[in-house]
Amino acid sequence: MKKILLQLDCDSLPSVFDAVTAYDAGADIVLQYGNITKENVRDLVYGVMFTRGGDNLKFSAIFIGGSKVIEAAEILEIVKSTFFGNVRNSVMFDPSGCNTTAAAAVAKMTKECDVKGQKVVVLAGTGPVGQRAAAMFAMEGAKVFVTSRKLEKAKRSAEEIKAMFGLEANACAAFDDESTKEALDGAVAALCTGAPGVTLIGEELWKGHPTLRVLGDVNAVPPLGVEGMKSSFNGEVVEGKVLFGSMGIGGLKMRVHRACVAKLFEKNDIVYDAKSILEMAKELS
């Protein structure tokens, strides 16, 4: 029986990236759907729920991707609420690669540095990757801070993290060297999840920092988020700090993405979201 992945995407053209990755993960067929809305998704889900019975349900799975993370999260809730009893299919949620990217960064960083009870800062932690990374650090027991240039925005992000994952995040503003220095005070780990081409941590801030042990940066477009970082860094030690750049993180991200898609077809009741994708990343890192 063919392994069929239903690709649900809120963009008008469903992601090529997600489809190719699904095939490389072992899906036999990807049914690509764009323009997914809260109104039209339920009938599509019925199409995988009611075509293959019993143990064969596991050969159909659902991937929720695309670039619109907030809309996609609503779709995930509807998909889960459409299932009943044993009539369900495994689902993976990774729009904009938010979960796999965050999980790869957090798995790599926490492997180098036990964050339990420690302060961790996610800089510009207001987007999908940053919020999920913050939640994942919290899952690992860290005292998490998200920053934004405006305190108000950081606070809103922390509230959203609380609402989405039920986990505490603290907020602080970081808009220049001084405020960033304060934000990093006492932290053991810092991850930059800001816009491409924007530096968030100057070199003099992290080199010789008394407590920082590991830095990550998902920004792939120079200048990078951490000054002095290289995209290719994958655990390189500079001035006593362990560094992970976007390509170092990206390699694990791709392996996590593929491994999760492959696993979807082993059971019919898996939900790969932040927590379970982090588990996969830790296993593979």
Q: Which of residues 51-70 bind a copy of itself (CB under 8 A)?
A: 51-52, 60, 67
- Give the contacts of 15 (CB within 8 A, at least 6 positions apart): 7, 9, 65, 66, 67
Contact between 211 and a copy of itself by CB under 8 A: the answer reads: no
Contact between 15 and a copy of itself by CB under 8 A: the answer reads: yes
Nearer to a copy of itself, 8 or 136 (CB): 8
3-state class percentages of the chain: helix first, strand second, coil last, to nearest 5 = 45, 20, 35
- Give the contacts of 17 (CB within 8 A, at least 6 positions apart): none
Q: List C-alpha distances in Å: 155 to 31, 57, 65, 109.
A: 39, 42, 27, 24
CB of 232 to a copy of itself, least distance (A): 13
Contact between 231 and a copy of itself by CB under 8 A: the answer reads: no
Given 2, 84, 85, 166, the residue binding a copy of itself (CB under 8 A): 2
Given 4, 107, 172, 212, the residue binding a copy of itself (CB under 8 A): 4
Q: At what angle do helices 98-112 and 128-139 cross, to 10 degrees?
A: 40
Stretch that binds a copy of itself, among 33-41, 205-213, 232-240, 264-272 (CB under 8 A): 33-41
Contact between 12 and a copy of itself by CB under 8 A: the answer reads: yes
Q: At what angle do helices 41-49 and 69-82 cross, to 10 degrees?
A: 50
CB of 16 to a copy of itself, least distance (A): 3
> From CA 194, how far away is CA 224, in angstroms rounded?
9
Contact predicate 198/218, CB 8 Å: no
Contact between 221 and a copy of itself by CB under 8 A: the answer reads: no
| Token couple for 180 | 């960033």
Contact between 167 and a copy of itself by CB under 8 A: the answer reads: no
**Size of interface with a copy of itself, in residues (CB under 8 A):** 34
Stretch that binds a copy of itself, among 46-54, 131-139, 177-185, 195-203 (CB under 8 A): 46-54
Phi, psi of 175 (to 5 degrees): -125, -10
Given 5, 31, 169, 172, the residue binding a copy of itself (CB under 8 A): 31
Contact between 6 and a copy of itself by CB under 8 A: the answer reads: yes
Nearer to a copy of itself, 45 or 173 (CB): 45
Q: Which of residues 250-279 bind a copy of itself (CB under 8 A)?
A: 254
Nearer to a copy of itself, 43 or 85 (CB): 43
Contact predicate 280/260, CB 8 Å: yes
| Token couple for 8 | 């649900």
CA angle at 62 for the pair 60 and 64, rounded to the nearest 5°: 170
Task: Note the residues at the interface with a copy of itself (CB under 8 A).
Answer: 1-2, 4, 6, 12-13, 15-21, 23-24, 29-33, 35, 40, 43-48, 50-52, 60, 67, 254
